[in-house]
Amino acid sequence: MDIRNGHLFWDGCDTVALAKRFGTPLYVMSQSLIEARFAELQTDFVAKYEKVRVAYASKAFSTLAMLKLVEKQGYSLDVVSDGELYTAIKADFPAEHIEFNGNNKSVEELELAIDYGVERIIIDSLQEVDLIEKIAAAKNKTVAVLFRITPEVKAATHSFISTGQKDSKFGIPIEPAILFPQVEKAVQAPHLDFLGFHFHVGSQLADNTAHLAAVTIALDLAKIVREKFDYTITELNFGGGFGVRYTKDDVRQPFAYFTDPMMEKVLAFCQQENFPQPAVVIEPGRSIVAEAGISLHTIGAIKELPAIRKYVSIDGGMTDNIRPGLYAAHYSGMLANKADQPTSEVVTVSGKACESTDILVKDIQLPTVATGDIFVTFTTGAYGYSMASNYNKLRIPAVVLVHKGQAELIVKRQTLDQVIENEVIPASLK
Ligand code: LLP
């Protein structure tokens, strides 16, 4: 990011010009910043250790163009639904680099995944072993599987995005009476290749304690499985969850802060227990795309309530960024067209949806705001576009990929016709 002639530039592009050219609301993704995160992962993890892989969690930001960047990097892809899988198929993402997660995969989704030949399916429920074995047998295929376990660690994050605790809809609890019969079945199933265990402890973590505690639990489990079933697992997946910087109060730890001590534990365990080193996979989503993305909105109505608050309204809001309303998430922002002006007032940036929680940023310092100014929100690259909705029949914004001064549209703005394209008036109402 830099400032030229009073305008904010993002990856070499004038954001005010982008707003004019593509309209607002607009998501702007910097290819250089995404690639910088890839580069950090390469040095901190991929090139540093043997048998490690990165599977980008596409839920954070899944578009055809993004998947091309992931493929170019040689990374795998984590998908959790037919829609995410279909996006991967349409992007020609190599099947042998796709992992399929999800706590309630339908028969149709599993069939689509197995037909496409996805690399791994992460089993997340007690019915799935039988189901996958049955589908794989019918298709005469072998499917590589891992079990997502709930490692019972408490992650220091918003409870809505904490997933590693026992009382969770995700994963299989490490209760011997629940987990081991499933493991035994998977080991014996003729069409399953049981590889090992997966966990994901939570999201937006700035502290590695939960990850490290879960690694210990997964390694203990590997040892127990070897003793109990005479079976050596060959892969562990430690999920994602690495936090990013939304405001100056947040810390973004380097990937190595998480991956180095996790790998140390794995390597020490292998040596101590004479255990062959398993493959280790991580599934970062947010940490790859969040800080690469910004959102641009145009300021419309301004409402001053003397001695109370000044509301400045934007032409989007919770429909393109649900995170403040859903998780009380905080964001930072500025006026893209007054980027060199000193701040002079405190305002609350509110959205356009009919919902009082539709407040994007409360009490933010900005230069004097006028209708027509362009408000930029930072760190919206993850879980912004991917969680966008059509509430109030607002249209899902366009997404632009910027790279060293060049801007390309990668998602078109929804049209009003598209907003109602699936609706049907039955004959009885005509
Ligand atoms: N792997 C699994 C199995 C997951 O469930 C998730 C996220 C990830 C990887 C990627 O986690 P990340 O690296 O992005 O933290 N909508 C919420 C986040 C939900 C995350 C759900 N699972 C938010 O906007 O904060």
Instruction: Transcribe 209-236 into DSSP letters.
Output: HHHHHHHHHHHHHHHHHHHHHS----EE
Could you give the 3-state DSSP secondary structure of residue 303?
strand
pLDDT at 153: 82
Looking from the CA of 144 toward its CB, the CA atoms found within 13 Å total 18
Backbone φ and ψ for 78, nearest 5 degrees, come out as -100, 125
Instruction: Select from 315, 265, 269, 270 the least CA-distant residue to 295.
Output: 315
pLDDT at 169: 83
Could you give the 3-state DSSP secondary structure of residue 171?
coil
CATH architecture of 31-287: Alpha-Beta Barrel (3.20)
pLDDT confidence band for 333 (50 / 70 / 90): very high
pLDDT at 168: 79
pLDDT at 147: 97
Instruction: Select from 145, 183, 152 the least CA-distant residue to 168.
Output: 152
- 180 CA distance to ligand 1 centroid (A)? 27
Could you give the 3-state DSSP secondary structure of residue 299?
strand
Q: How many angstroms separate the CA atoms of 74 and 63, rounded?
A: 17
pLDDT reading at 355 higher than 60: yes
In order of 21, 261, 330, 334, the CA distances from 407 in angstroms are: 10, 39, 28, 21
Q: How many angstroms separate the CA atoms of 89 and 284, rounded?
A: 20
pLDDT at 411: 98
Binding site membership of 101 for ligand 1 (Cβ less than 6 Å): yes
Question: What residue spans define the domains of the chain?
Answer: 2-28+290-419, 31-287
Could you give the 3-state DSSP secondary structure of residue 408?
strand
Q: Are strands 309-314 and 279-282 parallel, antiparallel or unpaired?
A: unpaired
In order of 206, 312, 352, 354, 373, the CA distances from 392 in angstroms are: 35, 19, 9, 7, 24
Same topology, domains 2-28+290-419 and 31-287? Answer is no
pLDDT reading at 345 higher than 70: yes
Report the catalytic residues: 354
pLDDT reading at 11 higher than 90: yes
- 206 CA distance to ligand 1 centroid (A)? 14
pLDDT at 374: 98
Query: In the chain, what's the furthest Cα-to-Cα distance?
Result: 75
Q: How many CB atoms lie within 10 A of CB 107?
A: 10
Binding site membership of 200 for ligand 1 (Cβ less than 6 Å): yes
Please give the residue that has the higher pLDDT: either 59 or 171. 59
Please give the residue that has the higher pLDDT: either 134 or 157. 134
Whose tokens are 């891992």? That residue is 146
Instruction: Select from 240, 267, 292 the least CA-distant residue to 53.
Output: 240
Q: Percent of the chain, pLDDT > 70? A: 97
pLDDT confidence band for 159 (50 / 70 / 90): low
Binding site membership of 202 for ligand 1 (Cβ less than 6 Å): no
pLDDT reading at 415 higher than 70: yes
The reply to whether the predicted model has a pTM over 0.75 is yes
Mean pLDDT score, 111-117: 97
Mean pLDDT score, 62-85: 98
Strand partners, 148: 198
pLDDT confidence band for 1 (50 / 70 / 90): confident
Q: Over the stretch 210-259, which tens digit does the pLDDT of each residue have?
A: 999 999 999 999 999 999 999 999 999 999 999 999 999 999 999 999 99
pLDDT at 170: 85
According to CATH, the topology of domain 2-28+290-419 is: Lyase, Ornithine Decarboxylase; Chain A, domain 1 (2.40.37)
Instruction: Select from 322, 293, 289, 337 the least CA-distant residue to 394.
Output: 322
CB within 8 Å of 88: residues ≥ 6 apart: 58, 67, 77, 79, 98
CA-closest residue to ligand 1 atom 1: 239
Binding site membership of 161 for ligand 1 (Cβ less than 6 Å): yes
